[in-house]
Amino acid sequence: MNDPSQRRASSEEQIRVCESCGHLNPADESARCDRCWLPLTWVAAVGRVEGEQLVRVQRRRLLRRRVMVRAVPLAVALGLGFWALSQFVHLGPNPPGATTTISADLGPGTWAQARRTPQNSAFISGQAPIPRTVAWIYDTSGTFSASPAIVGDRIYITSDDGRTVALDRRTGQPVWEHSSGHSASSTPAVADGLVIVTLRPGLVVGLDRDTGEMRWETDLKHGVFSSPIVADGSAFVGAADSNLHALDIATGIERWVFSTNDWVVSPVAYADGTVVVASQGSLVYIVDAGTGRKRLQFDTGFQRFGGGPTIQDDTVYFSSDRGLIWAIDRTAKTYPLQRLIFHLKINLYVWQVIPEPPLQPGALWSRQVDGEIRDLLAVAHDTVYGATRQGEVFALDAATGTPKWSTGVGAVISTAPTVAGDTVLVGTKSGVVFGLEAATGESLWEFGIGHEIADSVIVVGGTMYVTSADGKLYAVTGAE
């Protein structure tokens, strides 16, 4: 064996390399591999040295294949896991917290922001007067688009001519005026020593409550048509940049931004550390108020919103311009792949593969009413109140959506309903305010001012405040 000629002969021994398992088979008449028993019919005989090189190449190729086979599913799994965590667990640094815990005043004699409470309930316990006398009228010499805010002895209004004005509540006379040069279509929010105002070009300003001097200004760079909602040190504002913005109320500095995928034109609603926002893209989001992280996404299909959300306890209510009203669970969450599974079930139901339509995560009930709902709902007395543009005011049981009553007022309704004590108030395009019994829908009284009612009628301290589209604010009392 030490003879070099014998070693060369040995090295030239002919073998066949199995293409499947890499086993070295003798170059004989065998038709199958000795190890894996797969066919060797098309395998050519080569020298042992060349065969061993082929085996090494083949083993490397098999190793790479095994790594890829295992690595690709692992990478996909890791990617899905990271996506799921990023959607439902805050992985990055927390956004800056609010520097104060200031909220808009909720005292019994105040209406400090749009729809009064951060939940958008539009309810005040004080009774509405039976209107008899106009105590005073303030004329902006322009047009009105929004109701005022009322705190203490001051009334705060915005107008389309670019002014924010503080009025004396007893006389209606101006106390101070701030001119921005930009029109506004929103109700101011009053919190502690600040008046927060949103302006249509996208500016949010904080004004001194006593003097009207500007303390801060933030430019969102896109149009703002919704009123600010102030709670726990933050002002929450939806904008035409398809985002919900959380601003620190003390400084105006932006804390976080949440993408809503379409314009936001109605006030958001806030309760217990969550913000609910409805975009014009038929989606409702429940967002963590501290971090701006999504908790729930609810899809209304092709329905456009008549107004923003309203909250009572752990239930969120909202409506569409096609007359659909929904109730969803504020504590519900959207989990990874849940929406994909839901849409798959919808298709299976459409094709009659499954007998019952699936229930969207968070859904509690829905109800169809006749007519278009253009404005927000009101919630009081365990009842949801709404109004259609065609002139119907309706009441639904808040827990089940069961209809309680429906009353036609015989006029086009131009405002969202509000509830003062036991009276539901709506304004009409013809300039008449209607008062209805909250429990039965019975018409109690009506009061005309002669021009279209611009926004929700509010009641504070036994006085009813009515804004008209021709730029007047009326203070109406029950005095003879």
Q: What is the Cα–Cα distance from 55 to 74, expressed in whole angstroms? A: 28
Query: With 50 as the cut, is the pLDDT of residue 360 above it?
Result: yes
Alpha-carbon separation of residue 156 from 357, 415, 478 (angstroms): 48, 19, 23
Query: With 50 as the cut, is the pLDDT of residue 421 above it?
Result: yes
The mean pLDDT of 418-430, rounded to a whole number, is 98
Average pLDDT over the chain, rounded to whole? 89
Query: With 50 as the cut, is the pLDDT of residue 412 above it?
Result: yes
pLDDT score, position 418: 98
Query: With 80 as the cut, is the pLDDT of residue 13 above it?
Result: no
Q: Identify the three-state secondary structure at position 11.
A: helix
The CA-based angle 324-325-331, given to 5 degrees, is 140
- Burial class from Cβ neighbours inside 10 Å (0-12, 13-18, 19+) for residue 221 reads exposed
The mean pLDDT of 380-393, rounded to a whole number, is 97
Give 275-302 pLDDT, tens digit per residue: 999 998 789 999 999 999 999 999 887 7
Per the model's pLDDT, the better-predicted residue between 342 and 11 turns out to be 342
Residue 464, beta-bridge partner list: 459, 476
Q: Identify the three-state secondary structure at position 319.
A: strand
Query: With 50 as the cut, is the pLDDT of residue 179 above it?
Result: yes
Q: What is the Cα–Cα distance from 128 to 106, expressed in whole angstroms? A: 18
Q: Identify the three-state secondary structure at position 297.
A: strand
Q: Read out DSSP for 224-256?
A: --S--EEETTEEEEEETTTEEEEEETTT--EEE
Q: What is the Cα–Cα distance from 150 to 112, expressed in whole angstroms? A: 5
> How would you classify the pairing of strands 418-420 and 123-124?
parallel
pLDDT score, position 88: 54
Confidence of residue 1 (pLDDT cuts 50, 70, 90): very low
Helices (H), 299-357: 338-350
Q: Read out DSSP for 385-405?
A: EEE-TTSEEEEEETTT--EEE
pLDDT score, position 40: 73
- What amino acid is encoded at 427 in this protein? G
pLDDT score, position 8: 46
Q: What is the Cα–Cα distance from 132 to 142, expressed in whole angstroms? A: 26
pLDDT score, position 5: 45
Query: With 50 as the cut, is the pLDDT of residue 6 above it?
Result: no
Q: What is the pTM of this model?
A: 0.82
Q: Read out DSSP for 66-122?
A: HHHHHHHHHHHHHHHHHHHHHHHS--SPPPPPPS--------TT-B-STTSSTT---
> Percentage of the chain surpassing pLDDT 90?
65
pLDDT score, position 473: 97
pLDDT score, position 31: 78
Confidence of residue 76 (pLDDT cuts 50, 70, 90): confident
Give 109-141 pLDDT, tens digit per residue: 899 999 999 999 999 999 999 999 999 999 988
Give 224-241 pLDDT, tens digit per residue: 999 999 999 999 999 999
Q: What is the Cα–Cα distance from 112 to 155, expressed in whole angstroms? A: 9
Question: Are 246 and 268 in contact, with CB atoms under 8 Å apart?
Answer: no
Torsion angle in degrees (nearest 10) through CA of 95, 100, 104, 108: 140
Confidence of residue 3 (pLDDT cuts 50, 70, 90): low
Alpha-carbon separation of residue 370 from 363, 387, 398 (angstroms): 21, 10, 18
> How would you classify the pairing of strands 472-477 and 133-139?
antiparallel
Query: With 80 as the cut, is the pLDDT of residue 320 above it?
Result: yes
pLDDT score, position 86: 58
Confidence of residue 423 (pLDDT cuts 50, 70, 90): very high
Confidence of residue 454 (pLDDT cuts 50, 70, 90): very high
Residue pointed to by tokens 């990617």: 79
Query: With 90 as the cut, is the pLDDT of residue 99 above it?
Result: yes
Query: With 80 as the cut, is the pLDDT of residue 18 above it?
Result: no
Q: What is the Cα–Cα distance from 402 to 340, expressed in whole angstroms? A: 31
The mean pLDDT of 60-68, rounded to a whole number, is 77
The mean pLDDT of 167-171, rounded to a whole number, is 97
**Most trustworthy range by pLDDT among 93-97, 269-273, 277-281:** 269-273
pLDDT score, position 370: 94
